[in-house]
Amino acid sequence: MIEFKSDVEAVDYFRERYNRLTTEIRKVIVGQEDVVRDVLISIFSNGHCLLVGVPGLAKTLLVNTIAQSLGLSYNRIQFTPDLMPGDIIGSEILDENRQFRFIKGPIFANIILADEINRTPPKTQSALLEAMQERAVTAAGKRYELDKPFFVLATQNPIEQEGTYPLPEAQLDRFMFNVWLDYPNLSDEIQVVRQTTSGTTPELNKVLSIEEISYLQQLVRRVPVPENVLEYAVKLAASTRPHTATAAAEVNRLLSWGAGPRASQYLIIGAKCHAVVNGKYSPDIEDVRAVAAPILRHRIVRNYKAEAEGVKVDDIIKGLL
């Protein structure tokens, strides 16, 4: 493990490693710079990330590429309507000695790709709740610690598609970021097609060790936050709660409920990480604003008026900012 004389030196190292990491990822992933940034911020903030987009936008490839660049163990779980909780966590079997033995499921890895998480019923989706919050699972009354670091990067198809189940609000709240992916622009798509039909596979280099990732996660937590930035983040989250003293007029008219205290926490942690990867030693209000949309968009719920008027969640967040 590399030793640093000060946190300032560690921040400079973080910035340099982050740039190298994005360079490696760009060998495979064309465009999507904001998406890559948000996923990496969620990882270094020790959070989980939900990627939302139609099939074919390289969500799975992105997660696989990041796992390779970080040198972390990686398992993909394909969520289907018949998937059971035991298929994720693992189950006990009776071995040849007539003793019960726990066989670990695919959740025992550093990075878990929960692919098409909303194609399985809520009972199975909830199997991830304990793992995401406690970094541990319980089977047959016994608790098993998960590998560290541990991240769930889930992909989700738009809810309007056939055969999808909405994620429970309690599980949505466990995700630090809700990142929306859109179709690539024309020049990026030309590059994607050229790159993927050439028959060559880019070789990815490992950029960070597990020990370094853990150290950098702790470094993000130690970044000092000015009092005005802290107040701004808390007031921003509070302003999304309808019919409270801090609610904006449009919030009262368009929202059923808003973001809880976990959103305030993530706004500060995300702002810290956003500041560090941009070479700053302390976050400012612009760093909070940069991470606000992916943190808030899955924590506020529109009412029938907003849906009838076609007002999008991101429009409401933009108004609050």
Read off the DSSP letter of residue 163. Answer: T
pLDDT value at residue 259? 83
Which pLDDT belongs to residue 285? 92
Residue 159 confidence (pLDDT): 56
Residue 104 has pLDDT above 90, yes or no: no
Peptide bond before 149: cis, by omega within 30 degrees of 0? yes
Between helix 227-238 and helix 261-277 the angle, nearest 10°, is 140
Ordered by where they begin, the domains of the chain are 7-198 (3.40.50.300), 224-320 (1.10.8.80)
Residue 272's pLDDT is 93
> Helix, strand or coil for residue 138?
strand
Please report where in the chains the tokens 């939900």 appear, as a residue. Answer: 50
Please tell me the pTM assigned to this model.
0.86
User: What's the average model confidence in pLDDT over 92-112?
Assistant: 82
pLDDT of residue 164: 67
Strand, helix or coil for residue 113: strand
Between 105-119, 124-138, 152-166, the lowest mean confidence (pLDDT) is in 152-166
| C-alpha dihedral sign at 160, 52, 79, 89 | negative
Tell me: pLDDT of 8 over 60: yes
Q: What percent of the chain has pLDDT over 90?
A: 12
Structure tokens at 76: 């993909």
Res 3 pLDDT > 90: no
Task: Output the CA angle 291-314-66, nearest 5 degrees.
Answer: 45
- Encoded tokens for 211: 């020990």
Q: What pLDDT score was predicted for residue 207?
A: 83
What's the pLDDT tens digit per position in 173-215? 888 998 888 787 788 788 878 777 777 777 777 888 888 888 8
Q: What is the model's pLDDT at position 289?
A: 92
Question: In this predicted structure, what is the pLDDT of residue 270?
Answer: 93
* Span of 87-91, 138-142, 205-209 with lowest mean pLDDT: 138-142
Mean pLDDT of the chain: 83
Cα 73 → chain centroid: 17
- Kindly state the average pLDDT of the residues 255-272: 89
Return the beta strands (E) in the chain as ranges: 49-52, 74-78, 90-94, 100-104, 111-115, 136-139, 142-145, 151-156, 177-180, 255-257, 301-302
Decide: 176 and 266 in contact? Cβ < 8 Å: yes
Q: How confident is the model at residue 273 (pLDDT cuts 50, 70, 90)?
A: very high
Closest CA to 50 of 117, 125, 103: 117
**Quick one: pLDDT at residue 71?**
83
pLDDT tens string 225-256: 999 999 999 999 988 888 888 877 787 887 88
| Residues of the chain above pLDDT 70, percent | 96
